Structure 1
Amino acid sequence: MWKLILELFTWWNGQTMGTRFFTWRKGEFVGEDEFGNKYYRERGGKKRWVIYNGLAEASTIPPGWHGWMHHRVDTPPTDETYYPKHWQKPHQQNWTGTPGAYRPHGSILTPEHRPEVSGDYEAWTPGQ
């Protein structure tokens, strides 16, 4: 029941009803990645899309699927033996906008104090 309500009123959680209908009508299942994202292409067409497993976060698309999604390669990773290159790092979630986001020392969102400034910098104060 909740899944149906989420499909009706949210676009960031999996798929919408419109995407479900379009996928049913014109989609051809291509494969699934290790994160549970499902990839489709239009039958007889050029469109390609992904239905995310959970929140719609583009950074969860692995490198092999990213190349296929953006038409850089024609063969999806399921139709070939794909091995990540040595320079390709494993996926890391994008934490921007969450409590887990990177915050450098001195940020107003961290408990640490800003490091003392060294050198000849002197702060301006009004009335001097």
Structure 2
Amino acid sequence: MSNIYLQKLKELYKVYQFHGGLRGSFFTILKTDAFKIGTLKGTDEFGNRYYENKAYFIGRSRWIEFTDAVGFDYDASQIPPEWRSWLQYSREESPVEKPAIQHKWLGKHEENLSGTSGEYVPYSTAKPKIQAWQPPK
């Protein structure tokens, strides 16, 4: 029985080392709510790192660690389409192992800035239907 506990402690220590000790492990749990170890499958042009560990259940065996440049302000639109299809098990090989077909009409991937301060918000050209109240002078 104690052999099982010893094995679990060894696995925990491996994961602890994988994430860079106490500080790295703390920030990994804080950012991702997960404490996993896996094989680095590749890095995209934005610096996001993609991992896989087939010992985990399907749906949990592939994951992303977003670049440190975005801090805690990350979302799914920051993942390029070729990596998203790999994360969602639409393709078996990662884009590093088998690159996606690049068509000349495809544009470069950009994150969706809706709801952020960097969003383009056009001004209205319509006249307002209600005039703002002006206090008496």
Output the TM-score relative to the length of structure 2. Answer: 0.58
Aligned partner (choices 8, 19, 32) of residue 43 of structure 2: 32
Please state if 1:50 is matched with 2:64.
yes
Which amino acid letter does the alignment assign opposite residue 100 of structure 2? Y
Paired with 1:8 and 1:78, the residues of 2 have a C-alpha distance of: 24
* Structure 1 residues 13-92: aligned runs within 5 Å: 16=32, 18-19=33-34, 21-23=35-37, 27-45=38-56, 46=58, 47-53=61-67, 54=70, 55-92=73-110
Which amino acid letter does the alignment assign opposite residue 51 of structure 2? Y
Task: Label 1:69 to 1:95 Cα distance change in 2 as closer, same or farther (>3 A).
Answer: same
Q: Which ranges of structure 2 fall in alignment gaps of 5 or more residues?
A: 1-22, 131-137
Paired with 1:32 and 1:9, the residues of 2 have a C-alpha distance of: 20
Higher helix proportion: 2
Paired with 1:50 and 1:8, the residues of 2 have a C-alpha distance of: 11
Identify the residue that residue 112 of structure 2 maps to in structure 1.
94
User: Aligned-residue CA RMSD in angstroms?
Assistant: 2.9
Secondary structure of the residue aligned to 1:59 is: helix
Secondary structure of the residue aligned to 2:47 is: coil
Number of aligned positions between the proteins: 101
Which amino acid letter does the alignment assign opposite residue 97 of structure 1? G
Task: Label 1:51 to 1:81 Cα distance change in 2 as closer, same or farther (>3 A).
Answer: same
Aligned partner (choices 16, 27, 41) of residue 7 of structure 1: 27
Tell me by how many angstroms 1:70 deviates: 1.0
Output the TM-score relative to the length of structure 1. Answer: 0.61
Identity of aligned residues (%): 29
Identify the residue that residue 115 of structure 1 maps to in structure 2.
126
Q: Deviation per CA, 1:82-109, whole angstroms, max 9, x where unpaired?
A: 3433443212232222222132322xxx
